[in-house]
Structure 1
Amino acid sequence: MTQSRAEIIAFVGAQILPHEADVRAWLRRSGSAPEDVDDVVQEAYCRLAGLDSVAHITSGRAYFFRIARNISIEKIRRARIVRIDCITEIDALHVVDDEPSPERVVASRRELSRVRRLIEDLPERCRQIFTLRRIHGLSQKDIAARLGVTENVVETQAARGLRLILRALSEATAQDHLVSDKTHEPVRKRDR
């Protein structure tokens, strides 16, 4: 799917341009010469202008950094005389991507699953109100009207649900620390 030039320009203005100063600073920190920094940024804009669509870009910042990194690596590879410090420049061009690591994704999914189980374990009325309030985002007034209770009941039950979930999470965290501490205790020899 191709996009109009106006859409691409609007995207670049909103999602790319605000990060130019960060990209320039990062290129300078990585050891690029000032004239190279200008060249890399200019080339990045040229490549963006040559795109038929920007719909595939989920993070303008990460995309801009990635383009700048790739251009810098290409410049180093094309150079006829490779200075010894260029090798360290390539290593310095590792950009922190906006995407979470696979480990972080797994840990987040595990935590979400734990919270879902805690919500399911809430008392019926408390779970129903907590779900409508915190997950579906309904107002206290709407929940009260829907369930035929007062807003005070809604407020109390939503707060109770949150308290119970937070308490269970903190207890689980404390228990995880205890287990972790026990596995790291030094092994003692038995007295004979």
Structure 2
Amino acid sequence: MLPHEGDVRNWLSRRLPSAAAVDDVVQEAYCRLAALESVSHIASGRAYFFRSVANIVIEQVRRSKVVHIDSFAEIEELDVMDDAPPPDRIVSGRRDLALVGRLIAGLPERCRRVFELRRVYGLPQRDVAEQLGVSENVVEQQSIRGLKLILKALAEAGAEDIVPSRLTKSSERSGTRSKD
């Protein structure tokens, strides 16, 4: 959190009336962090720090007897600091991943096994060849074949946004002729 304190202070100084108020909010955020039993649930320190500070500011606005109209306008801006992708991108990514998983499962048996070991599990070509009892050349050819078949299926499904266009174009140029 310390590397982000300067950014938090700058952000707060544009929203709070005094440097003392900024100091109080930052100090309160550190106190809340120190009170946590574990920090293992924190995926992004920056996002967590900004969210904590935003929550403290919102609590102060709610508790104050006199509230400036500007405070309400700026409360909407408090959600901007989250580093997590928006929910629609998460859902879209999961859908894309499921589609690619189905395409991999639909590859011919040897091609699928080679592709999974090489591309999904990241095994070296030599290890895949030894494990499957084939030559490294076969592993290379089947891995390329699997990638071409998947790229072709994605293009046909209209899912070009999943894969950069340069990959689908090179796949179209080289064709997908190969045998199992």
TM-score by length of 2: 0.76
Give the corresponding residue for 1:46.
Answer: 31
Which of 3, 17, 27 lines up with 2:2 in the alignment? 17
* CA spacing shift, 1:174–1:20, aligned 2, 3 Å: same
Q: How does 1:1-192 map to 2 (within 5 A)?
A: 16-29=1-14, 31-33=15-17, 35=19, 36-173=21-158
> Secondary structure of 1:94's partner?
helix
AA in 2 matched with 1:82? V
The 2-side partners of 1:161 and 1:50 are apart by 51
List per-residue Cα deviations over 1:104-155 (Å, max 9, x = no partner): 3332222122111211222222111001111111110100111122212212
The 1-side partners of 2:89 and 2:48 are apart by 21
Segments of structure 1 that go 5 or more residues without pairing to the other structure are 1-15, 177-192
How large is the RMSD of aligned CA atoms in angstroms? 2.4
Cα drift, residue 27 of structure 1: 2.7
TM-score by length of 1: 0.72
> Secondary structure of 1:95's partner?
helix
Segments of structure 2 that go 5 or more residues without pairing to the other structure are 162-180
* CA spacing shift, 1:101–1:175, aligned 2, 3 Å: closer
